[in-house]
């Protein structure tokens, strides 16, 4: 046991000295993820509101104005532009000035009064899928509400669905996105720091010197993982504090459990960083490889897109992405107040992944050191 | 005397490439053994194999009686290594580097303090203890690198081109340290490009194209039959216009090698031709000499290149 991890503490202490010796790097390593947290945390809002809308009202009646008012009142649409002709309406859509166009035909009021179905044309810009989905729903909603009002008058609705959103009642985007963002930022920072630290040693020749000493591969690797793991843990706490105070995301579950279940994820990303460092010969290569891990963990981890709707192949891919499991843990504890029994499997998978990546990195290191 | 380092028909192949081809030698305790050869000839590979980092394809070796196949981990505790890359942490101070390497070798507490003091006394690094390595000159970095390499009092030290790129004064004072330690019984295995460094070594090995082509003391090498083929003589030609003489000399029959050596020309010629040459270059002073180490290696290299054709 002792010989398997030989040299762990001297390496660990030396690595802490490196970190403390260079406060500039430390500062930026901690600060840049926080800046990104602010940037993306405030910018990302999937609740589509105030879609710029162009209006072509050929009817010019009280009824048509009433319909437009109810569109405006929905908060989904903002009647930004009024045009007088079809070409103008299409041009506003094409140029992107408006994402939605509402055309009320000249016979709208007449049809309405005669009891025939009055049609309203709603054009939706499909080049932005989240806008399109929301706009279709909202416009149907407006039409339905208007129709019901006309039919029922003051009578009561026969059926009413009362949807109640659990865990994130206001469907605030921050609640959904910030925990996922935490996983991505933490991963990016740790992989990069530890990979660069080992590749730097390779570039400067100190790694060659270390291979000539009795330091065991696992001693070297774990000795490097501890300081960067501690750094990552501090960053995690900082992000959680900012998430709670600045983004007002309540943590429904046990914070202590959250911190404990973050350790397997830290282990895994440290292992990935080490593995990258055995593949990269220069710091530039290490940087590129580290950045290559970011996009899959953004798009295939369930951070943005629901895993259940992915094609089977990508569902399988998402299962080998560590962030997938950590985002489950984060959302589970933070939003749903889930406990250990709900989430232990995620933590177990991460622990297994962590051990495998570290061992792979150590094996890679042993086969390379002679060259 | 039992040898401290042995290589026994060591062969190392990387795929199709043979990096080390059937190399054997023995080095005794306290020897300062010089290992010469061009870049890529296999010097570093041999060191790595002897330290247990590369498993030889064929053959074996021992360090202090320990087999390199079986005792790689033990060997590292008894062996020091220093390369031209220094292996120092530039952002740490001198004493932090020494402290790190002593920790890495399992030396802690009072023993570490004492050992670091000894190293500082030996290398004269006392004024720079709290200075960062990045602020040291090349010569001091090298002394510190040596100090780190011998912090665990190894019996065997491998030096891989230890003086590449430092000034002559620093180079000499580093060699003084090697001699000092060698006199205390430490065995040195030094690779180098410099002939003058090789000449300071007790024994020298010359590796070319992955093969050990010569091995022995300086005098033994100078008197190698291969370096002095029968019927030839090594001569020094002293003449004021060395370059013009060299050009004509090289075209003469019976002149096997000729090269400028300072203000004279060293040449390997057929013995029967010496008198003809004296007549041809009346103003030059031509006299037989013992070959320099460089002459020996050049002659050996030409022979191998000819044999390869």
DSSP chain B: --EEEEEEEEEEEETTEEEEEEEEEEEETT-EEEEE--TTSSHHHHHHHHTTSS--SEEEEEETTEETTT-HHHHHHHEEEEETTTT--TTSBHHHHHHHHHHHTT--HHHHHHHHHHHHHHHT-GGGTTSBGGGS-HHHHHHHHHHHHTTT--SEEEEESTTTT--HHHHHHHHHHHHHHHHTT-EEEEEES-HHHHHHSSEEEEEETTEEEEEEEHHHHHT-TTTS-TTEEEEEEE-S-HHHHHHHHHHSTTEEEEEEETTEEEEEEEGGGHHHHHHH-TTSEEEE-PPPHHHHHHHHHHHHHHHH-
Q: Are B85 and B133 in contact (CB under 8 A)?
A: no
Cross-chain residue pair A214–B92, CB shorter than 8 Å: no
**pLDDT exceeds cutoff 90 at A172:** no
Where does the pLDDT of residue A139 fall: very low under 50, low under 70, confident under 90, or very high at 90 and above?
confident
Degrees, nearest 5: CA angle B63-B65-B71? 65
Can you tell me the mean pLDDT for B267-271?
A: 89
pLDDT score recorded for residue A148: 82
**pLDDT exceeds cutoff 80 at A15:** yes
Q: How far is B235 from chain A (nearest CA, A)?
A: 43
Degrees, nearest 5: CA angle B175-B181-B187? 95
Where does the pLDDT of residue B242 fall: very low under 50, low under 70, confident under 90, or very high at 90 and above?
confident
Q: Which residue of A has its CA nearest to B75?
A: A214
- CA B205 vs. chain centroid, Å, equals 8
For chain B, list residues whose CB is within 8 angstroms of any CB belonging to chain A.
Answer: 14, 48, 51, 53-55, 73, 76-77, 79, 81, 83, 85-92, 96, 100-101, 103-106, 148, 158
**pLDDT exceeds cutoff 90 at A142:** no
pLDDT over 70 for what percent of chain A? 98
DSSP conformational letter for A249: -
User: Nearest Cα to B147, choosing from B170, B119, B171?
Assistant: B119
Q: Are A79 and A55 in contact (CB under 8 A)?
A: yes
Using left for φ > 0, alpha for ψ between -120 and 50, and beta otherwise, residue B201 falls in beta
Provide the pairing of β-strand B17-28 with B3-14: antiparallel
Q: How far is B255 from chain A (nearest CA, A)?
A: 43
Average model confidence (pLDDT) for chain A?
89
Q: Are B56 and B136 in contact (CB under 8 A)?
A: no
Count of C-beta atoms within a 10 Å radius of residue A11: 25
Residues 6+ apart with CB under 8 A from A344: none
**pLDDT exceeds cutoff 90 at B230:** no
Where does the pLDDT of residue A153 fall: very low under 50, low under 70, confident under 90, or very high at 90 and above?
confident
DSSP conformational letter for A170: T
DSSP conformational letter for A266: H
The CA distance from B292 to A211, in Å, is: 37
Q: Which of A9, A10, A22 sits opposite B91 (nearest CB)?
A: A22
Q: Extract the tokens encoding B179.
A: 């001699």
Can you tell me the mean pLDDT for A2-30?
A: 90
Q: Which of B55, B92, B158 sits opposite A17 (nearest CB)?
A: B92
Cross-chain residue pair B104–A215, CB shorter than 8 Å: yes
Rounded to two decimals, the ipTM of the complex is: 0.85
Q: How far is A196 from chain B (nearest CA, A)?
A: 15
pLDDT over 70 for what percent of chain B? 100
Can you tell me the mean pLDDT for A80-92?
A: 91
User: Nearest Cα to B43, choosing from B165, B207, B187, B156?
Assistant: B207
Q: Are A101 and A119 in contact (CB under 8 A)?
A: no
**pLDDT exceeds cutoff 80 at A47:** no
Q: Which tens digit of pLDDT belongs to each residue from A301-310?
A: 888 888 888 8
B217 vs A147, more confident: B217
Rounded to the nearest 10 degrees, the angle between the axes of helix A23-43 and helix A217-245 is: 40
**pLDDT exceeds cutoff 70 at B63:** yes
Backbone angles phi, psi at A357, to 5 degrees: -65, -40
pLDDT score recorded for residue A371: 56
**pLDDT exceeds cutoff 50 at A369:** yes
Provide the pairing of β-strand B79-83 with A121-124: unpaired
Can you tell me the mean pLDDT for B55-76?
A: 90
Q: Which tens digit of pLDDT belongs to each residue from B107-135?
A: 999 999 999 999 999 999 999 999 999 99
Q: Are B168 and B119 in contact (CB under 8 A)?
A: no
Indicate the burial class of B109 (C-beta count within 10 angstroms; 0-12, 13-18, 19 or more).
exposed
Average model confidence (pLDDT) for chain B?
90
User: Nearest Cα to A277, choosing from A267, A266, A288, A268?
Assistant: A288
Q: Which tens digit of pLDDT belongs to each residue from A53-62?
A: 999 999 888 8
Residue with tokens 């989240």: A130
Indicate the burial class of B157 (C-beta count within 10 angstroms; 0-12, 13-18, 19 or more).
buried
**pLDDT exceeds cutoff 70 at B1:** no
Instruction: Check CB contact of A368 with chain B, cutoff 8 Å.
Output: no
Which of B89, B101, B105 has the highest number of chain A CBs within 10 A, making it the mutation to test binding with A?
B89
Q: Which tens digit of pLDDT belongs to each residue from A236-288?
A: 999 999 999 998 888 999 999 999 999 999 999 999 999 999 999 899 999 99
Q: Are B49 and B60 in contact (CB under 8 A)?
A: no
Please give the C-alpha separations between residue B299 and each of A172, B196, B204, B305, in angstroms, as whole numbers. Answer: 83, 18, 16, 10
**pLDDT exceeds cutoff 50 at A1:** no
Residues 6+ apart with CB under 8 A from A225: A194, A267, A270, A271, A274, A358
**pLDDT exceeds cutoff 80 at A157:** no
pLDDT score recorded for residue A254: 94
**pLDDT exceeds cutoff 80 at A155:** no
Please give the C-alpha separations between residue B195 and each of A219, B171, B293, in angstroms, as whole numbers. Answer: 40, 13, 7
Q: Which of B86, B92, B158 sits opposite A205 (nearest CB)?
A: B86
Count of C-beta atoms within a 10 Å radius of residue A264: 22
pLDDT score recorded for residue A39: 87
Q: Which of B55, B88, B105 sits opposite A214 (nearest CB)?
A: B105
Q: Which residue of A has its CA nearest to B53?
A: A370
Radius of gyration of chain A (CA): 28
Backbone angles phi, psi at B80, to 5 degrees: -105, 150
The CA distance from B74 to B9, in Å, is: 22
A369 vs A329, more confident: A329
- CA A313 vs. chain centroid, Å, equals 21
The CA distance from B160 to B86, in Å, is: 10
């Amino acid at each position: 046991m002792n010989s398997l991890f030989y040299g762990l503490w001297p390496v660990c202490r030396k690595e802490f000295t490196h970190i403390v010796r260079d406060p500039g790097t430390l500062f930026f390593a901690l600060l840049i993820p926080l800046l990104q947290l602010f940037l993306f945390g405030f910018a990302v809002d999937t609740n589509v509101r105030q879609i710029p809308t162009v209006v072509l009202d050929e009817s010019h009646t009280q009824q048509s104005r009433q319909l437009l008012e109810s569109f405006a009142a929905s908060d989904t649409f903002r009647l930004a532009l009024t045009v007088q002709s079809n070409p103008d309406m299409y041009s506003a859509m094409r140029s992107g000035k408006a994402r939605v166009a509402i055309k009320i035909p000249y016979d709208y009021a007449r049809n309405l009064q005669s009891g025939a179905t009055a049609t309203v044309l709603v054009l939706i810009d499909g080049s932005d899928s989240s806008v399109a989905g929301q706009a279709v729903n909202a416009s149907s909603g407006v039409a339905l509400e208007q129709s019901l009002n006309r039919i029922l008058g003051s009578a009561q609705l026969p059926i009413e669905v009362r949807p109640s959103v659990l865990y994130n009642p206001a469907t605030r985007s921050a609640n959904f996105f910030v925990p996922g963002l935490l996983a991505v930022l933490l991963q990016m920072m740790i992989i990069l720091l530890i990979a660069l630290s080992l590749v730097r040693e390779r570039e400067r020749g100190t790694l060659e010197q270390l291979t000539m000493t009795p330091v065991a591969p696992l001693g070297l690797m774990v000795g490097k993982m501890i300081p960067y793991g501690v750094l990552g843990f501090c960053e995690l706490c900082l992000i959680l504090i900012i998430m709670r105070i600045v983004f007002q995301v309540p943590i429904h579950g046990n914070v202590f459990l959250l911190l404990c279940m973050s350790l397997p994820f830290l282990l895994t990303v440290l292992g990935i960083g080490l593995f990258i460092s055995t593949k990269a010969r220069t710091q530039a290569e290490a940087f590129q490889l580290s950045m290559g891990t970011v996009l899959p963990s953004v798009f295939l981890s369930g951070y943005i897109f629901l895993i259940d709707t992915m094609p089977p192949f990508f569902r399988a891919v998402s299962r080998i992405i560590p962030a997938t499991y950590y985002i489950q843990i984060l959302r589970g504890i933070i939003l749903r107040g889930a406990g250990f029994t709900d989430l232990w499997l995620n933590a177990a998978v991460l622990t297994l992944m962590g051990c495998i990546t570290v061992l792979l990195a150590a094996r890679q290191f042993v086969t390379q050191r002679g060259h | 005397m039992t040898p401290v380092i042995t290589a026994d028909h060591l062969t190392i192949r990387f795929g199709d490439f043979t990096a080390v081809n059937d190399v054997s030698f023995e080095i005794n305790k306290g020897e300062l053994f010089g290992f010469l050869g061009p870049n890529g000839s296999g010097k570093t590979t041999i060191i790595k194999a002897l330290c247990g980092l590369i498993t030889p394809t064929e053959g074996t070796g021992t360090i202090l009686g320990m087999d390199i196949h079986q005792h790689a981990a033990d060997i590292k505790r008894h062996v020091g290594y220093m390369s031209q890359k220094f292996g120092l942490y530039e952002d740490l101070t001198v004493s932090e580097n020494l402290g790190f390497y002593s920790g890495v070798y399992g030396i802690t507490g009072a023993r570490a303090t004492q050992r670091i003091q000894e190293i500082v006394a030996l290398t004269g690094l006392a004024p720079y203890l709290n200075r960062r390595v990045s602020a040291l000159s090349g010569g001091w970095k090298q002394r510190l690198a040596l100090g780190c390499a011998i912090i665990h009092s190894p019996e065997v030290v491998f030096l891989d081109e230890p003086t590449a790129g430092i000034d002559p004064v620093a180079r000499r004072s580093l060699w003084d340290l090697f001699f000092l330690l060698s006199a205390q019984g430490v065995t040195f295995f030094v690779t180098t490009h410099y002939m003058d460094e090789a000449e300071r070594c007790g024994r020298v090995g010359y590796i070319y194209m992955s093969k050990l082509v010569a091995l022995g003391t300086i005098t033994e090498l100078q008197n190698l039959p291969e370096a002095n083929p029968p019927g030839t003589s090594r001569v020094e030609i002293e003449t004021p216009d060395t370059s013009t003489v060299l050009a004509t000399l090289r075209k003469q029959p019976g002149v096997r090698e000729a090269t400028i050596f300072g203000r004279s020309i060293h040449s390997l010629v057929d013995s029967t031709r010496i008198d003809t040459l004296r007549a041809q270059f009346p103003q030059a002073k031509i006299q037989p000499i013992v070959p320099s180490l460089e002459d020996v290696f050049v002659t050996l290299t030409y022979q191998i290149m000819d044999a390869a054709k």
